[in-house]
Amino acid sequence: MSYLIKPINYRPLLDLKQTEQGIKLIKEFFQQNLSTELRLRRVTAPLFVLKGMGINDDLSGVERAVTFPIKDLDDAQAEVVHSLAKWKRLTLAEYDIDPGYGIYTDMNAIRADEKLGNLHSLYVDQWDWERVITEEDRTVAFLKDIVNRIYAAMLRTEFMVCETYPQIEPFLPKQVHFIHSEELRQMFPDLTPKEREDKITRQYGAVFIIGIGGRLGDGKVHDLRAPDYDDYSTIGENGLPGLNGDLLVWDSVIDRAVELSSMGIRVNKEAMLRQLALSGKEERKQLYFHRRLLEDALPLSVGGGIGQSRLCMVYLRKAHIGEIQASIWPDEMRKECAALGMPLI
């Protein structure tokens, strides 16, 4: 299994019963802290949306959404969400949320095209959140403040986990290291983006990489992003583009950088039009979500997603996300994982 990381001499610190209890504790504790830090109210979210409205997250633009016909709507096609990046912004408008406040929700998704392994599953569960901002907030400094607030909630959660399970030792650094993806490329020009992530995250323990989706100095992107939610083309700090990024922590269990959250200041009209043009997706301007944004019917916002199973996996020092959540795995992977001491649920 080419995507299976095989840690040497791995032994779970918690048994199955303790693991299930730990998952519950982490999810309850963290979401309450996230809500308090960012002033978010919980809302109910859809599992699927109508196809063709531009509401579903397109991720990198190549993933296929799971679709099905709706009998009572003349077989109109629905698709299971990839994430709720655009739906949340529509919801902010519907609830008429004031600047400085926002929403969060439990997002459940199916991503059928994921490459299955220690960090990727067909089933995705995350806290999707979105907060209304002002024009003055559309800066890298504001984005960093949001990242630091989320990380503060993560540190408090780590303390709770270690107090509950003394066999788990703290591992998160006190602060997040911020770096732009172009600066990272210049530091390690001969490495791939993922290798750069491992290099910098091993060094600092927790890193936020700014500017994901825009072209770097070598003409390539650090990672792909849909052009119609995160603003990755507006010039920000140090004259470099990007008002978005990824939060990664170093996981010594699997000896890898693990992305726990992707977030960003969302596109305004100008940024969306620019990014649609750069990506050759200008036909999306006719879709429902995009028309609402172009008509000034949606608030400016910042938002992102935080992986629930990944967060639990890292806190509980597990080696495979399948030790945290129930999903479908290749038989060969299940056998290998069982032999390595990491039985998959």
Which residues are tagged catalytic?
57, 111, 126, 246, 259, 262
Taking the C-alpha atoms of residue 146 and residue 299, their distance in angstroms, rounded to an integer, is 18
Beta strand 102-110 pairing with 40-42 = parallel
Taking the C-alpha atoms of residue 137 and residue 28, their distance in angstroms, rounded to an integer, is 30
Tokens 């600047």 sit on residue: 99
Rg (CA), the chain: 20
| Residue 220, both tokens | 């390539």
Taking the C-alpha atoms of residue 128 and residue 307, their distance in angstroms, rounded to an integer, is 9
One-letter amino acid of 310: R
Q: Is 300 in contact with 266 (CB distance < 8 Å)?
A: yes
Instruction: Give the rounded distance of the alpha carbon of 37 from its chain centre.
Output: 18
